[in-house]
Amino acid sequence: MGERYGLHLLLLVVSLFVIKTHSSFTPSDNYLINCGSSSETKLPDGRSFKSDQQSVSFLQTEEDIKTSVDTIPVSSDTLPLYLTARIFPGKATYSFYISRPGRHWIRLYFYPLPHPLHNLTDSVFSVTTDTTVLLHDFSPRDASSVVFKEYLVYASEKLSLYFKPHKGSIAFINAVEIVSVPDELVPDSASSVPQAPDFKGLSSFSLQVSHRLNVGGDLVSSKIDPLSRTWLSDKSYNTFPEGSRNVTVDPKTITYPEGGATAEIAPHPVYSSAAEMGDAKTSEPNFNLSWRASVDSGHDYFIRLHFCDIVSKSLNELVFNVFINKFTAISGLDLSSKTNALGTAYYTDFVLNASAITNGTILVQVGPTPNLQSGKPNAILNGLEIMKLNNAAGSLDGLFGVDGKYRGPSLGMSSKKLAIAGIGFVMGLTAFFGVVVLLVRWQRRPKDWQKQNSFSSWLLPLHAGHSSYISSKGGSTTSRKMSIFGSKKSKSNGFSSFFSNQGLGRYFPFTELQTATQNFDEKSVIGVGGFGKVYIGEIDGGTQVAIKRGNQSSEQGINEFQTEIQMLSKLRHRHLVSLIGFCDENQEMILVYEFMSNGPLRDHLYGSKESDPNPIPTLSWKQRLEICIGSARGLHYLHTGAAQGIIHRDVKTTNILLDENLVAKVSDFGLSKDAPMEQGHVSTAVKGSFGYLDPEYFRRQQLTDKSDVYSFGVVLFEVLCARPVINPQLPREQVNLAEYAMNLHRKGNLEKIIDPKIVGTISKGSLRKFVEAAEKCLAEYGVDRPGMGDVLWNLEYALQLQEASAQVDLTEDKTTMNIQMEFSGEEMQSPPHPLL
């Protein structure tokens, strides 16, 4: 008897061990509701959904209607859930108490069942939580298929679902799931694509599952997945199936590494199947395996790739590249180095920025690494997950917030904005009548009009900036026709009327600029951008100017020209590059600026080599501080000096130019944005330069003046270290200068990357104050960053500390430069806030 009892106990322990091994996660919250049903419903995967009577306590509504049918003309593993529904003529709320805070599945089931009084195919409604719009003006009109929506949201204490019918319509729901998931299912950070600082703060986002694929295998049902997920076959996603070969092995052979992938990340069948290159046994495979998925534009996307080497016979045979929307996501992925074993699960996460998505598609590719030293070229993929992140409106479906108000960039004016719009209308009307008068005068012009003063000399006011090149010299203002009046010799490009209202100063005939640049000789090119080329030229008998000639075929160039004109028409400051005039003739769009003889700051940091015939002299630490101060003054003026405030959006060392006296001036306003009048941010697609991008702007698409502050913080470290902000040739931890410098600073090892040409010349106090300013600029969240006025104050203080140290014996100070910021700095009183 005792032996039998012992045997039963042993079997029980073994059984429990097996169960624990295959399903180690038990959700603390597990609400499964079959809406409108009168009895509990059990699915083929073993899950049981409660009936209405069992779940009525979760629902709050003034009126709801139940409906049910015996069958519907669709096939689904979850078919029983679609045979009943609740209908809501008014607002309804499902509320669920959360026993353990964390991420939860929200799974919603919809099918428009027939009803004698309500046509569910015509229903229009929204579904929201307290913080996130899940569906906006949703209408499941197709009765030939069911609709299943799956979300991941954070919940604590209580999670509520609000069903809000559109005016005159109804809402309905067939079934609801609220189920907690493992904490490690979605991390807080992921690698960014395109290359940029890692995307951080994922825990603050809600996600919607867009696609979940078992690559190289068949459908994996919710019965097999420990989190009740369904993994579709990749057959309809593979863009080149004839070039790939599906591989499968026994799922029991797959192992999960300790501290890595788990069955909750993806079940065994996902890792036991893969697609590899169909000609992997040939010597010269020359293509990538590709999977294309349709997505909604205007959102960032969380992408998880699953890998497991089930094709190699030994380690280090399989090395390949990974691309997302043709950007390199991983170069030279060696699964053996990640897992140290074959048949071992591995996954990696990315966030694809909305700006990198075109035509509403995401393209994932894997391809062999060129010049492979060992093994035969091959590439594999086992699984793919794509999830949408909520946008700046807090929505996963459109630009309306949970309060129903539009949160996009252009709709909805406050009274203040309406007043401004009214003033603008009156001014526009006045301008219209002014143009009519000018046209009448033009028709009545004298025959010898060309001998008289040009219209441009009185139509456009002179630029009143600080440039020494503003005034016209004798004889240079003749024969300046304006294409706005339709001259036979000039074809208007549509921008001249826009130009003429901006106060852009002097008008240059195209022939004058041809002469100034020797017919736009390529030898005169001093810069190239999305707008076109910049030439050096001479006007008025020897005055050098910079001439920016727009690229007529570039949409980016046209947009940047418009923006730069709008910005420059209201900017006047010693530390902003000044505009002299323009040309609008024969489809040309040309702007003329003061010439900055010492070029961009970057060239003075690491743009020239000592082997060059005329190397650029090294900037001293004092000169670098003065340049940073000048740049900060220019940015501070942008943020606070203009009537509305302007966000530059592309602060970098190539957009800080130096004149003959090394005075810094901020340039290139093609990406600039007017700061918002009331809101703290502008919702806009991400633009700028990688390495300088504000990570908060990058992930939330909310632009603020603190985005410029972050970029300027990168500039400060670039000035200190004299190296590129992104260098993909370096080890991964060193690729991004800002991240690497901050890590070294925290460890007290910043001296490792300070420009060796200035090591030993920086006073401790000056360095401390400078790095302190840079560190504050690079705070993760904009609210924690200082304004440009405070940054300027710190830089002015750093300069004063440097100048003070130059007046004393620096021998002891320069022998050892401990950059752990434990020093107290020079003893001197802090200066007053600098006058701007």
Active site residues: 650
Contact call for residues 380 and 307 (beta carbons, < 8 A): yes
For the chain, the C-alpha Rg in angstroms (whole number) is 33
What gap in Å lies between CA 343 and CA 250, rounded to an integer? 10
Residue whose C-alpha is closest to residue 472's, from 498, 453, 452: 453
Q: DSSP letter for 344, please.
A: B
* C-alpha span between 368 and 107 (Å, rounded): 38
Between vectors from CA 320 to CA 373 and to CA 692, what angle results, nearest 5°? 115
Q: Are strands 189-193 and 175-180 parallel, antiparallel or unpaired?
A: unpaired
CB atoms within 10 A of CB 825: 17
Q: Which amino acid is at 126?
A: S
3-state secondary structure at position 797? helix
Nearest to 159 by CA among 29, 346, 8: 29
Assess contact for 364 and 381: CB atoms under 8 A: yes
Backbone angles phi and psi of 149, in degrees to 5: -120, 140
Strand 301-307 to strand 383-389: parallel, antiparallel, or no bridges (unpaired)?
antiparallel
State the CB neighbour count (10 A cutoff) for residue 31: 22
CA distance 576 to 646: 13
3-state secondary structure of 794: helix
Please give the Cα distance from 237 to 490 (Å, whole number). 52
The terminus-to-terminus CA distance of the chain in angstroms comes to: 94
CA-based nearest residue to 504, from 436, 435, 554, 456: 456
* Residue 386 near residue 152 (C-beta atoms within 8 A): no
Distinct helix (H) and strand (E) counts, the chain? 18, 40
Instruction: Give φ, ψ of 750 to 5 degrees.
Output: -60, -25
Q: Tell me the C-alpha distance between 371 and 373, whole Å.
A: 6
Tokens for 720?
A: 């200190």
Closest of 197, 194, 191, 333 to residue 735, by C-alpha: 197
How many angstroms separate the CA atoms of 259 and 824, rounded?
43
Query: What sign has the CA pseudo-torsion 314, 319, 322, 326?
Result: negative
Please answer whether residues 778 and 713 qualify as being in contact, where contact means their C-beta atoms are separated by less than 8 angstroms: yes
For 362, the token pair is 């995401």
505: amino acid identity, one letter: G
Integer Cα distance of 555 and 388 in angstroms:
29
* Burial degree of 125 (CB within 10 A; 0-12, 13-18, 19+): buried
DSSP 370-432: TT-SSS----EE-EEEEEEEP-TTSBSSSSB-TTS-B-SSSS---HHHHHHHHHHHHHHHHHH
- Return the closest-CA partner of residue 162 out of 259, 93, 99, 107: 93
Tokens encoding 331: 């170069």
| Nearest residue to 129 (alpha-carbon basis) of 108, 148, 111 | 108
Tokens of 632: 């900060």
Burial of 447 per CB tally in 10 Å (0-12, 13-18, 19+) = exposed
Q: Is 491 annotated as a binding residue?
A: no
The Cα–Cα gap between 267 and 341 comes to 18
Query: Could you tell me which residues are annotated as the binding site for ATP?
Result: 548
